[in-house]
Amino acid sequence: MPRCRPTPGPLAARSLLQLMWLASPALPVGGFSYSEVLEAAVDTGHVQDEAQAATWIEHQLRLSLGRADLPLLARAQGAWRRHDLAEVQALNDWVRMTRETSELRQQTEQMGRSLTDWLRQRQPQDPRVAALAGLTPAPTWPVAFALAALHTGAPVREVLLTHAFGWCENLVQAALKAVPLGQSAGQRILDRLVDVLPEVVDAALRQPPGQRQSFVPLLAILSARHEEQYSRLFRS
C-alpha cells in the first residue's frame, strides 16, 4: 500500500505571530524606501494605471522573486539549520552578484544589515547571528531573513509565503505613491497577488538545485536609469 504522509498540524500561535512580525511594514529594515524599479517603470510609461501596476508586480514576482530569492531563501534556511557557514557565504555572494545595479545591491545590503541588527537584539545567544553579521562585505536581505524566519520554527513553505507577501505588500504601497493609486486599487492588486502566491512559492520549492536564476533585463535597464532619474521618491 502507498505510504501516506501525515497532514501537517496547524501552525503554533507563536510561530504564526512571529511570521506576521517579519512580514509587517513596521519591521525596522527600511523596505518602504525602495520600489524595486517600479518608480522607474512609472517614469518611463511602462506602468500608468492599476491594471498595468498589477501586471508589472505579478510578472516581477514570477520572473524575479520566484526564480531567484525564494529558492535561495529555502536553501539558506537549510544551510543555517546545518550551521553550514560556507554555503551561507556562497548564497550571500550569489545575491550580491545577481543584483545588477548599484542601487539594488545597496538595497539588499542595507536591509540585510538592518535585519541583522534587529536579530542581535532578539537572539544574542545564537552564534549564527554573529556569523550573519560577519558575512562579507555585508549580509544580504534574503540570507538574513532566512535566519530570522528559522527562529520562528515555521515550515519553509510558510516562511516563503511570508517573505513573498511582505514583498508584494511593499511593492503595492510603492505603486500607491508612484502611479499614484487609491487604497481600494491597492487592495485589488493584493487580492490578485495573493491568488498566485502559493503557486509561485510551490514552484520555488520544486526548483531543482542549480536552476536558480536572476535574468530580468528590463529591470536591470530601468534600475540603471533610475539611478540617474531627475526626480524620485524611492531609493530603488
Q: How many other CB atoms are found less than 10 A from the CB of residue 161?
A: 21
Spatial CB neighbours of 48, under 8 Å, sequence gap ≥ 6: 42, 179
| Residue 102 domain flag | yes
For the entire predicted model, the pTM comes to 0.94
Contact 118, 28 (CB under 8 A): yes
What is the pLDDT, as a whole number, of residue 10? 78
One-letter identity of residue 31: G
Task: Give the count of domains, the chain.
Answer: 1
| Residue 22 domain flag | no
Per-residue model confidence as pLDDT tens for the chain (236 residues): 445 555 566 788 999 999 999 999 889 999 999 999 999 999 999 999 999 999 999 999 999 999 999 999 999 999 999 999 999 999 999 999 999 999 999 999 999 999 999 999 999 999 999 999 999 999 999 999 999 999 999 999 999 999 999 999 999 999 999 999 999 999 999 999 999 999 999 999 999 988 999 989 999 999 999 998 878 899 89
What is the pLDDT, as a whole number, of residue 2? 47
Host domain of residue 60: 36-106+156-226
Spatial CB neighbours of 156, under 8 Å, sequence gap ≥ 6: 74, 77, 205
| Residue 113 domain flag | no
| Residue 120 domain flag | no
| Residue 190 domain flag | yes
| Residue 45 domain flag | yes
| Residue 201 domain flag | yes
| Residue 95 domain flag | yes
The owner of cell 487604497 is 183
Cα–Cα dist 185/94, whole Å: 35
Cα–Cα dist 114/207, whole Å: 29
